[in-house]
Chains A and B, each alone.
Chain A
Amino acid sequence: MALGSIGRRNRQFVAPRLHITAMMDMFTIILIFLLFSFSDNPETFQLDKDISLPESTAKMDYKDSIKLVLSQTSLKLNGEVIAEIQDGKIIGLNPAELKKSSLYERLKAYRDQMADFEGDEQSESEKHILFLCDKRISFKTINNIVKTAGMAGYPNFQFAVLKKVTDS
């Protein structure tokens, strides 16, 4: 009889059970890996696409400070474009008159502002600039920026680099 065969078929049907143990294992491993990589970096920030940092064996972590980003097209101070770069030349930065540049004025203003805010809490050696520079830029361009920063009261730098992957 037709009804009887349907009844038999229903009885044979077993609801499929998803085995999620393997998936749980995978998720746990991914989670642990991501948690470790998350805690490793105290602070992360977005790197511009047109900047390619050099690789280095340096092991020191960078500190939160003023960020000066020099790419092949622009110079940014704390995320704000302060000068354009054309053919390796910084527009508006005359090597003979570095103190008249907007970079000098802004760094000087920033330093005065920080001095009012922090008083003598920070020693001179702790006042530094985190310098992110494209690896293809020539020293002629870098030198003007480094000199300007030194004149504005920031002679100490942290050159940002990517950690070199070693074979060992």
Chain B
Amino acid sequence: MSRIGRRRLKASDDVDVDMVPIMNMFLVLIPFLLMSASFFQMKAINTSVPVQAENTSAGSSAEKAPKDIKVTVIVQIGREGFDISAISDYLEYEDLSKLEAKIGKVNKDEYPLAQMAAYLQKIKEIYPSSDTIIIIPDGSVVYETIIEAMDMARYSGRGDTPLFPNVVLSGKVG
């Protein structure tokens, strides 16, 4: 082999990318990102408390078809379970009383969330325009139960189809 050929072969053997600066950069970046990273994902549920509304004129059911009628569902979370009712400017007392239901606890600690969601689904099927729910928990109900009930009422715990996405949290009056 000629001298030039030998030199070329030697030169190609020696070529090696210097990774040390990149490694240094990684070693600085990774601790920085680890420190600033959060390993829990925080989300939010929009809620409001009742405020004094302006006086609106009440309509009548004769003017609207059920699919256009909006009802506001009220879910009372008590020690014994859920107490569901509804209010609407467009429905008579008889129609509204048909929507009332009591869903008792399955056992001492477990609230029947699935049954409540199924019942709310029924109301939504009758009055699909409805989007507001008022949750009235008892004083002893813990925050976790309220959030679970909100989850079920908003999206019934499955899929992206909203059930009652507008949640109002209220205390018992009287």
Q: A34-B34, A140-B139, A147-B171 are in contact. Are A60 and B144 (CB under 8 A)?
A: no
In Å, the complex CA distance between A63 and B44 comes to: 9
Q: Is B47 an interface residue (CB 8 A)?
A: yes
CA A85 – CA B129 in complex, angstroms?
42
User: Does B139 lie within 8 Å of A60, measured CB to CB?
Assistant: no
**A137-162, CB under 8 A of B: which get 1 and which 0?**
11110110011011000011111111
Complex: chain A residue closest to B146, CB-CB = A139
Contacting pair B47 A27 (CB below 8 A): no
Chain B, residues 7-43, CB within 8 Å of chain A (1/0): the string is 0000000000001001100100110011011111111
Shortest distance in angstroms between B116's beta carbon and chain A's nearest beta carbon?
15
Q: Mark B97-119, 1 if CB is under 8 A from A, else 0.
A: 00000000000000000000000
Q: How far is the CB of B135 from chain A (nearest CB, A)?
A: 10
Give the top 5 A-B pairs by smallest Cβ distance, nearest first: A140-B139, A34-B33, A135-B144, A62-B44, A158-B44
Contact of A40 with B44 at beta-carbon distance under 8 Å, contacts A27-B26, A135-B142 already known: no
A55 to B48, CA, bound (A): 19
Distance in Å: Cβ of A135 to nearest Cβ of chain B: 4
Q: A38 contacts which chain B residues (CB < 8 A)?
A: 33, 36-37
| Total number of A residues with any Cβ neighbor in B under 8 Å | 51
Please judge, given known A-B contacts A27-B26, A56-B147, whether A156 and B43 are in contact too, CB under 8 Å.
Answer: no
Chain B contact residues, majority secondary structure: mixed
In the complex, A68 has a CB within 8 A of chain B: no
Q: Does more than half of chain A's interface fall in helix, strand or loop, or is it mixed?
A: mixed
Indicate whether B127 reaches chain A with its CB closer than 8 angstroms: no
Q: Is residue B140 contacting chain A, with contact meaning CB distance below 8 A?
A: yes
In the complex, A147 Cα to B40 Cα: how many Å? 29
The yes or no answer to B4 lying at the interface (CB within 8 A) is: no
Whether B51 lies near A158 (C-beta < 8 A) is no
- A122 in contact (CB, < 8 A): no
Q: Check if B49 is an interface residue, CB within 8 A of chain A.
A: yes
Assess the A27–B30 pair: CB atoms within 8 A.
yes
Q: Which residue among B34, B36, B42, B46 has the maximum number of chain A CB atoms within 10 Å of its CB? A: B42
- Note all chain B residues with C-beta closer than 8 A to A138: 139-143
A37 within 8 A of B: yes
| Docked-complex contact B142 and A156, CB < 8 angstroms | no
A40 and B30 CA atoms in complex are apart in Å by 17
B43 touches A139 (CB 8 A): no
Is B126 on the interface with A (CB-CB < 8 A)?
Answer: no
